Amino acid sequence: MATTTKKGGGGGVPIAILGAGTFVKNQYIPRLSDISDLVTIKSIWSRTQESARAAVETAQKNGFEGVECKWGDQGLDDVIHDGSVTAVAVVLAGQTQVDISLRMLKAGKHVLQEKPAAGCTTELENALYNYRSISADAPGQLIWSVAENYRFEPGLVEAKKLIADIGEMMSVQVIIEGSMNSSNPYFSSSWRRNFTGGFILDMGVHFIAGLRMLVGCEVVSVSAFTSHVDLSLPPPDNISSVFHLENGSSGAFVMVVSSRTPKTLWRVVGLNGTVQIERGFQGQHGYLVSVYGAEGLTKSLFFPFSGVTEELKAFVSDVSKSTIKKEGLSVAEPRLSFIEGARDVAVLEAMLESGARKGELVHVKKF
């Protein structure tokens, strides 16, 4: 597909990307290219010059010219003091994202930070305290968003509407059989292997986000068992949990980090029917949304993935509105809020804590 070449200093919201890894090159840059009429990549930063240059080359191949290459401590300072950069995308190791995001917010820049929001609820509480302090001193509204593309996937958005028609909720099932093996580009990621909760937390926040969005209420408490079977993965690599929802119903969350038979499925059973969402492939990857009634399957719709594009579009729109309304009256997209990301982490932290306590009931920290 031909791309329209645009100058790094052209129209659209000027952003910097902090991070130059696989997800930046394979997702962020191509998806930003899809909305290049709304956004400009001003610079890309990484710890090393080599990785930053590789990402800048990817940006150039996707139609962005004049992108500045930044690296190391000096490069980060350059981004912080660059008054032309309105917003930053923080796509770094989970252990460093919160600190870098807060530095950028303190410099007056809007932040879109990759998930997970933080590594634990203690870090989340400290982050929110610091964010409120920074915001109180800021002349305008500062946006801190967490990129959770599952809340923007058309399949999940449509399924949420359909769930409203199946009557009182009775049961919810979330079954995840991942494919985190040596052929996966993230398998060797060192930060995920040294992250508390490992791949369960890093991958799992997606599926908890999907669960919370679909049911429209919070997870109150959990009881879980965890295990470590595949020794090529950090522990734990399996989790089976029952959870209790605010609306009185309950469900099960089962996640296997690496399976020979990958599957992603949410199933919500109501008094009058069932809605099921399953990852699939119909010419392209996406979600198959099925509705079942008394007579069996009544509706089946397929939605290709587009969540990353939609979340980026929403963030850029929020930044544009905030820039126009300097008095801070604009309302940011709630699906991107740091609080939403915090709630996803809190559910998984409770499950992992329960697993460590051999299934003991654990209440989910409220945010």
Q: Are 367 and 339 in contact (CB under 8 A)?
A: yes
Long-range contacts made by residues 91-95, C-beta under 8 angstroms, separation at least 24? 91/17, 91/18, 91/19, 91/21, 91/23, 91/24, 91/28, 92/18, 92/19, 93/191, 94/118, 94/119, 94/191, 94/192, 94/195, 94/202, 95/119, 95/191, 95/194, 95/195
What is the pLDDT averaged over residues 8-12? 62
Instruction: Report the pLDDT value the prediction gives residue 5, as an integer from 0 to 100.
Output: 42
Angle at 103 between CA 100 and CA 108, to 5 degrees: 130
pLDDT tens digits, one per residue of 243-281:
999 999 999 999 999 999 999 999 999 999 999 999 999
pLDDT(197) > 80? no
Instruction: Report the pLDDT value the prediction gives residue 324, as an integer from 0 to 100.
Output: 72
Under the banding of pLDDT at 50, 70 and 90, the label for residue 10 is low
Under the banding of pLDDT at 50, 70 and 90, the label for residue 352 is very high
> How far, rounded to the nearest angstrom, does the alpha carbon of residue 173 sit from its chain's CA centroid?
21
Q: What is the pTM of this model?
A: 0.92
% of residues, the chain, pLDDT over 70: 94
Q: Which amino acid, residue 208?
A: I
Helix 97-106 and helix 121-137: axis angle, to 10°?
10
Nearest to 250 by CA among 173, 323, 184: 173
Instruction: Give dist(CA 196, CA 104) in Å, integer.
Output: 25
- The two three-digit tokens of residue 187, written as one number: 């398998």
CB atoms within 10 A of CB 230: 16
Instruction: Give dist(CA 292, CA 295) in Å, integer.
Output: 8
Instruction: Give dist(CA 367, CA 361) in Å, integer.
Output: 19
Under the banding of pLDDT at 50, 70 and 90, the label for residue 359 is very high
- The two three-digit tokens of residue 87, written as one number: 């917003």
Nearest to 359 by CA among 255, 234, 237, 241: 241
pLDDT tens digits, one per residue of 116-154:
999 999 999 999 999 999 998 887 889 999 999 999 999
Average pLDDT of every residue of the chain: 92
Instruction: Give dist(CA 142, CA 319) in Å, integer.
Output: 9
